[in-house]
A = this chain, B = another copy of it.
Amino acid sequence: VSEIYIGIDLGGTNIKIGCFDEKLNLLCKTSVITEAQMEPKVVVERINAGTRKLLADNNIPMESVKAVGIGVPGPSNVENGMIIAAPNLPLFKNVPIRDMLSEKFDKPVVFENDANVACWGEHAVGAGKGIDNMVFFTLGTGIGGGIITEGKLLHGFNNNATELGHLIVRPGGRVCGCGQKGCAEAHASASSTAARAQEAIEAGAESSLKKVLEDNKQITCKDVFEHAKSGDKFATEIVEETAKCLAILCIDLLHTTGPERIVFAGGMIAAGEQLLGRVKHYYEEYLWTLKAEKTEICFATLGEDAGIIGAAALALYETGNK
């Protein structure tokens, strides 16, 4: 083994750890419980112990580890490697996790927020491979994202850039958790898509989803896509609105940072062509005719390992031979 890079994906439930060679081939991986209610030093020790056990179990000496990358949830400060706050890690307030880990491992640690990490992973070895100008969206409970321009992650002033779920696509529309109205996240995230359906049915809309609500007391985004696929008119309208909002979001990003490729990731992409086809449809319909655009819209390819791959890829990029 020549050079090893560790990728860590810190979540509120699990810590995923992956071990990669210098070509970013996954050698081995593991997952340990976060114990998110514990204080930061306990969680940091769990990361340390989990990583050392993974290496030992696979006969990889610590000496071969060149660097460690970690992706973290919530607001963070990339410059000093701190988690400012994280909804799923209640005791994490201004935690200098990069330096804490670097001390444990005695290795360079590279730190980013989880959306940027996943974006970088797709750029390094996934759907954005070889693409120096790309936009990346995650469609889950919320909508997050990352932007790569000229081969580098965009951070902006105070790391304030790429809050891509909060561009306004429906002015005066639904109230977002952030306090704005009409955010992409408030209309087109998985949870907003489900919420729009549920609210309309509670208000009397006719749909085959009505029985789902009665049986399960709630409607999920998956339910909406499934019933749309089965031909339910109401569910189809809900999906169409999600696609329209995402199309506007793509156009806004196209005209801002000029990406060559736009990559969607996150739970909602399980809907496959049923989602992607409609987003592309409305993107083409709404987009200017001033000139032909070559920007492609596609899905991410790394799946659940995106976090560990991206973190290892960033560690390689920041510390290896660029």
Q: Which residues of A contact B (CB under 8 A)?
A: 75, 132-133, 147, 149-150, 154-164, 166-171, 176-181, 244, 248, 251-260, 286-291, 293-295
Contacts and interface: CB of A to CB of B under 8 A. Distances in A.
A149 B157 CA distance: 8
Contacts of A253: 256
Closest 5 CB pairs of A and B: A156-B258, A161-B258, A179-B289, A160-B258, A157-B260
A267 B288 CA distance: 25
Contacts of A256: 147, 161-162, 164, 167, 252-253, 256-257
A149 B158 contact: no
Given A171-B169, A171-B248, A251-B180, A154 B287 contact: no
6 contacts: A155-B258, A158-B258, A160-B258, A167-B256, A179-B287, A179-B288
A75 B290 CA distance: 11
Given A157-B258, A158-B260, 20 more contacts: A133-B157, A149-B154, A149-B156, A154-B257, A154-B258, A156-B258, A158-B294, A160-B258, A160-B295, A161-B255, A161-B256, A167-B255, A167-B256, A168-B251, A168-B286, A171-B244, A177-B290, A179-B287, A256-B256, A256-B257
A154 B179 CA distance: 30
Nearest to A84: B291
A252 B69 CA distance: 30
Nearest to A132: B157
Q: How many copies of this chain sit in the oligomeric assembly?
A: 2
Nearest to A133: B157
Contacts of A295: 157, 160
Contacts of A255: 161-164, 166-167
A155 B177 CA distance: 33
B147 A180 contact: no
Contacts of A251: 166-168, 180
Contacts of A258: 154-163
A259 B181 CA distance: 21
Contacts of A293: 160
A132 B260 CA distance: 24
Query: Residue among A133, A158, A252 with the most chain B CB within 10 A?
Result: A252
